[in-house]
Amino acid sequence: MAAGRSPFYRMPPVGLTQLKESFAPDYAVLLLCDRLIVDGESFERLTSRSHSLFREMAETLEALKSEGFIQVEDLRRSLKKNPPCLNRC
């Protein structure tokens, strides 16, 4: 299956400890954050046309963005401008 067709392509990591009907954010980790930086393409894909398994994740991220907790960035462009960053990972 091509990466673009996978329901998990460019989706954020999720907590699998309490997986029931859908993927949910790891709320305990969110308590440790002052702000999240989320890739714009991933955010758009998640909130506008993601698989139903990500519905809770999408709703949570939309709410957090509306409260100013999420900063949406073009991470692909940022990485292209700074290739040594990739080499250090």
Distance of alpha carbon 50 from alpha carbon 72, whole angstroms: 17
Tell me what pLDDT residue 19 has. 55
Q: In a structure prediction context, what are the per-residue pLDDT tens digits for the chain, which is 89 residues long?
A: 445 566 556 655 555 555 566 677 778 888 888 999 999 988 998 888 767 888 888 899 999 999 999 999 998 887 778 777 666 65
Listed residue (46, 66, 62) closest to 54, CA to CA: 46
What tokens were used for 74? Answer: 């073009």
Its pTM stands at 0.64
For the chain, the domains span 23-88
Tell me what pLDDT residue 76 has. 81
